[in-house]
């Protein structure tokens, strides 16, 4: 039946009810709590179904919405350049590597540009990604840094990490775990980065990040914190981007 002039078309919600004056894309999906499912799980599912980054990742072929975080960070700081040698710590499921492949020209598709090298490591198997080399490796294990340099055939230009420790449900404990993981990633970066290199990692706001900032300021010429648009507004996560790696620590005023 034709829509009367001046009246917006009618659409149906997932429940089958008609609505007028709203486009289908503006409708939020409501999820009922199924028997045996926790309320927190229902809320997570509802948030996923209504998250524009989740649907965009599906459309564009990325393995998760986190891909847009590194994409937005690189748009701002430009560290994934053709020819760069990049290490992605805790790379599963591989979204950050997917973003990096064309940017560092890992497949050599940009004529006249240097070809980059991408290395992903994780504790679990990761589905292969064209243009990236992925290994099962605990980066905290003895000799992991030397093994990475063997795989890279040299030092790295970028070490990046979106790792997060398993949630315990206790806010301060989870904060401390993630900050400890980030600090370990920073020390790993000190071992494998070439002079002038970049370190990018997820951190959580909450009080323990000050020590990490001081540590990074000793080894990098510039350290900034940023919350990319793809990071959920209700999350305390942010990202530290440290550029200009120094071979030797600089003496930094503690009041800086």
Q: Are residues 105 and 195 in the same domain?
A: yes
Residues annotated as binding site for S-adenosyl-L-methionine? 94, 96, 122, 138, 162
Q: Are residues 140 and 225 in the same domain?
A: yes
- Residues with a catalytic annotation lie at 202
Q: Using a pLDDT cut of 70, give the percent of the chain over it.
A: 74
Rounded Cα distance between 169 and 128, Å, is: 32
If you average pLDDT over residues 31-40, what whole number do you get?
Answer: 50
Q: Using a pLDDT cut of 90, give the percent of the chain over it.
A: 57
Q: What CATH number is given to the structural domain containing 149?
A: 3.40.50.150
Q: Are residues 72 and 53 in the same domain?
A: no
Q: Are residues 34 and 85 in the same domain?
A: no
For residues 38 and 85, the model is more confident at 85
Q: Are residues 81 and 197 in the same domain?
A: yes
Q: Which of 34-38, 188-192, 244-248 has the highest mean pLDDT?
A: 188-192
**H or E, element range at 252:** none
Q: Is residue 254 part of a domain?
A: no
Q: Is residue 186 part of a domain?
A: yes
* DSSP code string of 213-229: HHHHHHHEEEEEEE--T
Query: What pTM was estimated for this model as a whole?
Result: 0.78
Per residue in 181-193, pLDDT (tens digit) is: 999 999 999 999 9
Q: Is residue 36 part of a domain?
A: yes
Structure tokens at 234: 């209700």
Domain boundary among the residues 15, 40, 60 is at 60
Domain interval for residue 203: 64-245
- For residues 199 and 180, the answer to whether their CB atoms sit within 8 Å is no
Q: Is residue 211 helix, strand or coil?
A: helix
Residues annotated as binding site? 94, 96, 122, 138, 162
The domain total for the chain is: 2
Q: Are residues 52 and 70 in the same domain?
A: no
């Amino acid at each position: 039946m034709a829509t009367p002039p001046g009246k917006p078309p009618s659409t149906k919600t997932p429940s089958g009810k008609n609505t007028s004056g709203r486009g289908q894309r503006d409708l939020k999906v409501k999820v009922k709590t199924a028997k045996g499912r926790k309320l927190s799980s229902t809320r997570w599912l509802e948030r996923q179904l209504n998250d524009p980054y989740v649907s965009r990742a599906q459309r564009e072929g990325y393995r998760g919405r986190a891909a847009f975080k590194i994409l937005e960070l690189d748009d701002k700081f430009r560290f994934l350049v053709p020819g760069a040698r990049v290490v992605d710590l805790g790379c599963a499921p591989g979204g950050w590597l997917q973003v990096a492949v064309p940017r560092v020209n890992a497949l050599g598709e940009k004529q006249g540009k240097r070809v980059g090298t991408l290395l992903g490591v994780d504790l679990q198997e990761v589905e292969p990604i064209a243009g990236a080399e992925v290994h099962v490796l605990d980066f905290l294990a003895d000799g992991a840094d030397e093994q990475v340099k063997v795989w890279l055939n040299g030092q790295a230009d970028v070490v990046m990490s979106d790792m997060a420790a398993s949630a315990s449900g206790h806010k301060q404990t989870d904060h401390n775990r993630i900050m400890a993981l980030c600090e370990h990633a920073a020390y790993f970066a000190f071992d494998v980065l070439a002079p002038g290199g970049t370190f990018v990692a997820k951190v959580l706001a909450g009080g323990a990040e000050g020590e990490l900032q001081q540590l990074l300021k000793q080894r990098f010429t510039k350290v900034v914190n940023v919350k990319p648009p793809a990071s959920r507004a209700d999350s305390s996560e942010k990202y530290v981007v440290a550029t200009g790696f120094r071979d030797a620590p600089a003496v930094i005023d503690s009041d800086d």
